[in-house]
Amino acid sequence: MPEAVEDLPAGPGREETFGLCAACHAYRLVSNQGMSRERWDETLTWMTQRHNMPELQGADRDLILDYLAKAHPQKPPSLGGGFRQPF
């Protein structure tokens, strides 16, 4: 099933987050994670270091992290929450 930015929860940073993430993998991989803002931040750093994702800094990074934390917050452990290495 094709993914479109319109399928994501509305909010500031939706288009930027979709563009950044979907450039390399299905956005579903992102939306299934459900992490805290801190874990999303660690994940962006990890992807920059391990997978050569362009480094995000300043307001751009804050916009993406704010969107991820709000749209895909950490799930309770009973629902499989917490970080799960997708690779």
Rg (CA), the chain: 12
pTM, 2 dp: 0.83
Domain 5-79 CATH (choose: 3.40.50.300, 1.10.287.110, 3.10.180.10, 1.10.760.10)? 1.10.760.10
pLDDT of residue 36: 94
- Asked if residue 27 has pLDDT above 90, the reply is yes
Diameter over CA atoms, the chain: 34
Give tens-digit pLDDT for 1-20: 558 999 999 999 999 999 99
pLDDT digits (tens, 9 = 90+) for 38-52: 999 999 999 999 999
